[in-house]
Amino acid sequence: MNEMTKTREGAALYQQHAYSAAAQKALDRKPALFINNEWVESSHGATLPVEDPSSGKIVSHIVDASDRDVDRAVAAARAAFDDGRWSGLPPMAREKIMIRLADLLDAHAGEFAELEAIDQGKPKGMAAAIDIPGAISQIRYMAGWASKLGGETHAPYTMPAGLVFSYTLREPVGVCAQIVPWNFPLLMACMKIAPALAAGCTVVLKPAEQTSLTGLRLADLIALAGFPAGVLNIITGNGHTAGDRMVKHPDVDKVAFTGSTEIGKLINRNATATLKHVTLELGGKSPVVVMPDVDVATAAAGAAGAIFFNSGQVCIAGSRLFAHRSIFDQVVDGVAEASAFWAPRPSLDPEGHAGALNSKEHFDKVMSYIVAGKRDGASVVVGGDSPSDTGYYVNPTIMVNVNPQMSVVREEIFGPVVVAQRFDDLDEVAKMANDTCYGLGAGVWTKDVSALHRLAAKIKSGTVWGNCHAMIDAAIPFGGYKESGIGREQGRAGIDAYLETKAVIIQL
């Protein structure tokens, strides 16, 4: 494939398509920050380039926020929280404004999908089917919680009945600094802002510096939806400068972070000085277990989707495949066959199901893992190469003859690379699945209901899928065990993460 696609015909296949006028307008906007419902200039005028990973071309610029810019955004959020202009609204009003934001996003869904495709590298069709509706569903679902946040009354344990009246209030945590990664930019942003806003918190959001376009476009809709000034502020810039300032800022009450385990640990340490609330959604090395009773074609296609969807740039990517010894070769052949569906294409190619990796830096990292795997003795069944000299494309890659010491087996690659291993029985595969510092997601393919439940209980991860993978829903809690994170997003647990519980005890 490599040689064939690097011909002139192949080069044409990897040519990015033309942008729409709406997308071009968003790319041409003057770099600015969204603070207090206004577009404002940065204090120091520094910018960062925006690259289209499908072509490797610079297509726009964003602000690289300074410390003063961050301080300004935090001050806006602080004032908006402290005077109660948001938390003091009737819950019905907060719900209505959030639903209006969801409706506005819906109305501009095509434009958002295209911007996500240009910025992230993923197929526009995929963004239109998954990212944008997923982001909207987070807002719609959480909007409903705004009106359901009551506390409880409590019967005391050590005091006689009637001596005191005790109840709890659920109150918003305060000003939230929210930092998200580049793999599902708008979806990750909405997963963070929706529960915070429903709870009555105010927010400073920073998208990843590589993928800020949809966050900035979202800002256009904030005032239109009716949010009071300062409730949701969106800034852009580098993580180690602007992000760091947000995390350490004394006027921030909570940090919610999605990203790598390495940066998550750093943020957790940095937030400790002021004892902020912290929610961390971090990395993974998720197992996919294929039991001997499956329909191999179905399970293999599922296992291929588990790793190659979004070119493997998914925290819950099924990057470790465990197939029962009796069907191992058939499963690997099936995944190899299914991998053709996930061949990367430019993000605006309507035929594409997978795209380029997000950046040159990330492309180099993924390719270096493949080189390391081969050097350590792994064999490549398919892929292992790039089909194009322009853009950051990596072909779907399957590696066999691996062992648990290899970096390709132990470390999160975050690309379209799966390592396949054999197992003999359920206890053995549970042990192999748990042999990792991560614990985010796991997929099990079997018709045996009992085996499915036994594995679901044994595998240490925040989510276990049966006969599917990476299904997420705004109502179902999501998060990690072990070094995959702290806390949960989505569902009731997701809104609880933005609330304080206050006990009130009154002597009668």
Which string of DSSP letters, residue by residue, matches 420-462?
A: EEEESSHHHHHHHHH-SS--SEEEEE-S-HHHHHHHHHHS-SS
Q: Which residue is nearest to ligand NAP (CB)?
A: 239
The binding site for ligand NAP (CB under 6 A) comprises 179-183, 188, 206, 208-209, 238-240, 243-244, 247, 258-260, 263, 266-267, 281-284, 315, 412, 414, 440, 480, 485
Which residues are CB-contacts of 102 (< 8 A; sequence separation ≥ 6)? 136, 139, 140, 143
User: In the annotation, is 281 catalytic?
Assistant: yes
DSSP state of 490: S
DSSP state of 398: E
Rounded to whole angstroms, the Cα distance separating 181 from 485 reads 14
Q: Least distance in Å: CB of 225 to ligand NAP?
A: 24
Q: What angle (nearest 5°) sits at the alpha carbon of residue 304, between those of residues 485 and 292? A: 95
Number of Cβ within 10 Å of residue 91's Cβ equals: 18
- Which residue, 316 or 348, has its beta carbon nearer to ligand NAP? 316
Copy the structure tokens of residue 31: 């770099």
Q: Least distance in Å: CB of 284 to ligand NAP?
A: 5
Q: Least distance in Å: CB of 268 to ligand NAP?
A: 11
Q: Please identify which of the residues 95, 114, 209, 281 carries the catalytic annotation.
A: 281
Dihedrals phi, psi of 345, to nearest 5 degrees: -140, 165
Coil, helix or strand at residue 132 = helix
Q: Least distance in Å: CB of 244 to ligand NAP?
A: 4
Q: Least distance in Å: CB of 87 to ligand NAP?
A: 26
The count of C-alpha atoms lying within 13 angstroms of the C-alpha of 209, restricted to the half-sphere facing its C-beta, is 15
H or E, element range at 71: helix 67-82
Q: Least distance in Å: CB of 339 to ligand NAP?
A: 21
Rounded to whole angstroms, the Cα distance separating 465 from 233 reads 36
Copy the structure tokens of residue 252: 């921030």
Dihedrals phi, psi of 319, to nearest 5 degrees: -90, -10
Q: Least distance in Å: CB of 167 to ligand NAP?
A: 34
39 sits in the region (left: phi over 0; alpha: psi -120 to 50; else beta) called: beta
User: In the annotation, is 468 catalytic?
Assistant: no
Please report, for residues 62, 376, 479, the alpha-carbon distance to residue 485 in angstroms, rounded to integers and kept in the order given.
29, 30, 6
DSSP state of 341: G
- Which residue, 91 or 283, has its beta carbon nearer to ligand NAP? 283
Rounded to whole angstroms, the Cα distance separating 45 from 64 reads 8
- Which residue, 267 or 426, has its beta carbon nearer to ligand NAP? 267
Q: How many residues does the chain have?
A: 508
- Which residue, 246 or 290, has its beta carbon nearer to ligand NAP? 246
Q: Please identify which of the residues 51, 315, 483, 489 carries the catalytic annotation.
A: 315
For residue 225, give the amino acid letter.
A
- Residues catalogued as catalytic: 281, 315
